[in-house]
Amino acid sequence: MASLQAIENRRPRTTGSLYTLPIEKNRLQHSLSDPPQKHYSQEFKGEEMKSVISRLEDDKKRLSQRIEKLTANEKALVSELERLKRHGCLTKSQSTNHLGEYVNDLEADRDYWRSQVEVLQRMIQNPSQNTPIRGKVKSKPPPGKSLSKVRETSVNKLETKIQELQADRDRLQKELENSRRSLRETSSPLTRSRSLTRTQNRTDMQELTRLRHERDEMQNLLSTLEKRVQEIQKNVHNLTSERDHVNKLYNEARCEIHRLHQDLYALQESGDRASQTSQSALRRAEAERDRAVADLTRVTTERDGLISKYKMEKLSTEKLQERLDAMTQSKGAAERRCDWYERQFAETQNLLAQMESQLSAEKDGNKWFTEANEKLTADNETLRATVELANKDKVHLESCIEDMTNKNRQIIRERDELVQRSANLRERLLETEDNLKQTEQELKRSNDSLRTERNAMTDMQQQLEQMRRRAETAERDGAEISLRLRDCEEQLRKSESRAVLLDRDLRAEREDYDQLRLRLETTDDERRNLEMALRDTSQRLSHLEVDLTTRTREVNELRVANEDSNRAFSRTQEALTNKTTELANTKGELSASQSSLTEIRRLLEAEKQESGRLRDDLNKLTKETQKLQSELREVNEERDQLDQRTAGYLNEIARLERTMNERDTECGKLMDQLRSIAEDAESWRSRWESAENKLTNVRIELEEREAELAAERERADTRERDLVHLRATLNSTEIQYGSTSRALCESTEKLQLARAEVETVNAELSRLRDNLTRLEGEKSTLQREATSLRIEKDQMRAQLDDVEMEIDQLKEQLEQEKSVSRHLQNNLQASRQKEQGVLLELQEKSTEVSALKERITNVEDRSEALQRESERLRERLSEAEREANRLSRSLSAERFEKERALSELRLSTLPAVYRPSGYTSLATTLASRDRPLLREPENNF
């Protein structure tokens, strides 16, 4: 009875709960209808984010193209600066063309960024355009299965796009690093320019530093943009994960609504028991509704954060526009500076030409004054001697004086010619000294090369001093050319030895590359084993899903299978960790090999520079040989005129014969060396053919790797499809088990465990995808290395072609030298025949010529001393002129008085017919002798 009363007391409660159930049902339906609408709004936002990502990708491509243009412009500027330092400035038309191209690029970039800013402003000002799309989504929501398929396809597309963006970012970073390394390697020390162009080099260096700072700023901006893109990608991943979570909650809510409908039908049949189950279901539904509301609030907060980030990006774009305007202004200022520097350079060149002309005029004036003083002293001595011997040898002295004046004039002309030759030789010596200093600056890196080059410099300086002292002959230049050729041959031998060392290093690196390839093959085998294990696990999962459709007895078997699968997963995880460590080690070895390759490239570039320098030296030597040939022709012409003067030319002719014999021997040696160089070139060709064969093998292996990667991608796609199918089957099993009784509650808990395991499987699949992306990155690095090897091969081929061209040029030069030597031998034979007929006449005048030679040598020594002391003599020139005038007047007075006395004495003894002859002849000779000494400075000045 008490139980019946309790039941009667509970009936009004149950009736009240039954009346409240439809109200709560409607409320739950409204609360559950809100998440799909929010889900559709999130999908719309996801599409907007996709459009933003596409725009960012376009901007990234644009920036990458801009970076490539900037690097190309920087390389062009560096090459132009080096060329200006070596050869001088460009013409105005070429400089304006380059500047116009640069200005057009900047204007195009400015217009592009302005258009992008206008688009963003329109998007911000017109947010109402997106509202009707949302209304349409609310009115017609798609079914659950189609939503899941669209969601999965969109997620896959986003993942592929993100991977492509990451690959592009890595590629751009590597290209920037390569450009920096190339700039650092090519940024050789500045060549030693002349004294008046150093200011221009400093300004050029300042402009280069400014350009490099601007380049660094642009790179920093790119890094910030990449960081922002990464943040946006992370936000996109978070939104997709949250969207998947909301979809899961939506599906679970639908299942629970279906279960609640079944519970309501059961409540009509069973009273108190159904009320308890309905209350528990309502509590669960309320808890899940609260969770959904919390998730939606979190999504809205994240959306607000993304909007704030979008505003920050807008501000950054405005700042970039301002920086671009500042860059255009700085560009205009740089153009103005370049024009100003060009004007200053032209002015400095004009000043240099004026200063050189002034210096040459002053040197000629100093030489004339010194020669005039020496001539006056010599005239005083000769006059004293003539005064003592005037009574005895007057007629003989007059003839001698006339001969001596003619000889003096010839000697003056010869001396002027020798001075001009010495000036030309000094200019050449200055040029050679500049070249030698440049070579010293370039070859300071190695101590051994410095010692050898210092010895060579000392030898060359000694040779140059000998050339200065012995400026009469120009045939010693041939000996210097032979010495330089020997030095060039030694340098070529050194370069060959370096090339041999580089070949050894390349072989060692190829062996390392083969070892790495073997390691990669082992990793591929292990990966295949892992794939087999994953296939086994997938088969086990399929068995588990089939067993889930059976009864509770088969659930125990599924637990055992899950334990086995967990053990297998733990083993696979351990294997994956081991493989990751091995991959890290292989990456370290690859980085070491890349560093060694960079060092080898630097050495190759240094050798290229040395080869270019050697080519320049050879060109200079050829020019000097041509000049020497022209000078030798002039010397042969002068020899025909000077056959009647010196007997010392016989010794010089014998010396010339010796030098010619030495040249013949050297030509033979050079031919032998050329043959050896040709053999070396053939050996190099064979080596490069073997390298090409190896490169083809590497290409075949890369193609095989690409095919394997494609097969792995297909396998991954099939696995993803299987997983989608498994998820669909799991949802169907959940719906079927939702209609069962309380006994299946335990089975639902087990299903949740199985879902957790499936999620772990999904995580492992994502890890495998990451590994595949890493392998693709490694493949791209190998392809880049292969391309770099191709480029190096082409460069070495070009070098070999250049060496062959140089060898042909050397052969032609040797043939020319042989023809010149034959011509000289013929000339020497002719000169010998002429000299044999003139020897008798030269013996009579050998004494006079020897005295003149001594005077000429003294004059040359004094001229060299006067060149060093020209600054001191400038102050004393005025006094010397005055003293010279005074001495000339005194000498003329003394001569006049002496001649007058002698004439008076002789007139007393001689008859009247011969009285005026001696005095007048003596006066005329003295006047003719004194006049050129006083009129030469006017002509010089």
What does the pLDDT look like over 256-290, one tens digit per residue? 767 766 766 666 666 555 556 656 666 776 676 67
Q: Please report the pLDDT score of residue 928 as a whole number.
A: 45
pTM above 0.85, yes or no: no
Q: Please report the pLDDT score of residue 324 as a whole number.
A: 64
Question: Which of 686 and 31 is assigned the larger pLDDT?
Answer: 686
> What are the E-state strand segments in 805-861?
none
- Our CA angle for 357, 630, 353, nearest 5°, is 15
C-alpha span between 703 and 524 (Å, rounded): 15
How does 530-550 read in b/e, with b if 16+ C-beta sit within 10 Å? beeebeebbebbeebbebbee
pLDDT at 667 over 50: yes
- At 748, is the secondary structure helix, strand, or coil? helix
Measured from the Cβ of residue 386, the count of other Cβ atoms closer than 10 Å reads 19
Contact 765, 719 (CB under 8 A): yes
Q: Please report the pLDDT score of residue 129 as a whole number.
A: 46
C-alpha span between 316 and 242 (Å, rounded): 29
Residue percentage of the chain with pLDDT more than 70: 32
Q: Position of tokens 């304006």? A: 96
Contact 468, 864 (CB under 8 A): yes
Give the pLDDT band (50/70/90) at residue 146.
Answer: very low
pLDDT at 934 over 50: no
How does 552-578 read in b/e, with b if 16+ C-beta sit within 10 Å? eeebeebeeebeebeeebeebeeebee
Q: What is the tens place of the pLDDT at every residue in 386-428?
A: 656 655 666 666 666 677 667 767 777 777 777 777 677 777 7
Q: What is the tens place of the pLDDT at every residue in 56-108?
A: 777 777 777 777 777 777 677 667 767 766 665 545 455 556 556 656 666 67
- DSSP-derived secondary structure for 186-242: H-PPPP---GGGHHHHHHHHHHHHHHHHHHHHHHHHHHHHHHHHHHHHHHHHHHHHH
C-alpha span between 691 and 518 (Å, rounded): 20
Average pLDDT, the chain: 66
C-alpha span between 520 and 590 (Å, rounded): 12
Question: Which of 192 and 444 is assigned the larger pLDDT?
Answer: 444
Q: State the virtual CA torsion across 216, 222, 228, 230 in degrees, nearest 10.
A: -110
C-alpha span between 176 and 185 (Å, rounded): 14
Q: What is the tens place of the pLDDT at every residue in 798-851?
A: 777 777 777 777 677 767 766 776 776 676 677 667 666 666 766 676 666 566
Give the pLDDT band (50/70/90) at residue 255.
Answer: confident
Helix ranges, 389-475 (H): 394-442, 447-469
Q: Which stretch of 302-316, 373-387, 687-701 has the lowest confidence by average pLDDT?
A: 373-387
C-alpha span between 410 and 179 (Å, rounded): 66
Q: Please report the pLDDT score of residue 377 as a whole number.
A: 65
Q: Please report the pLDDT score of residue 471 as a whole number.
A: 57
Q: What is the tens place of the pLDDT at every residue in 438-496?
A: 766 665 665 566 566 667 666 766 766 666 676 566 566 656 766 776 776 677 677 66
DSSP code of residue 393 = S
pLDDT at 648 over 70: no
Q: Please report the pLDDT score of residue 937 as a whole number.
A: 40
pLDDT at 588 over 60: yes
- DSSP-derived secondary structure for 673-736: HHHHHHHHHHHHHHHHHHHHHHHHHHHHHHHHHHHHHHHHHHHHHHHHHHHHHHHHHHHHHHHH
> What are the E-state strand segments in 15-89?
none
CB within 8 Å of 63: residues ≥ 6 apart: 222, 225
pLDDT at 191 over 50: no
The token pair that represents 713 in the structure block: 């991608």
Main-chain dihedrals φ then ψ at residue 687, nearest 5 degrees: -65, -40
DSSP code of residue 270 = S
The token pair that represents 747 in the structure block: 């089975």
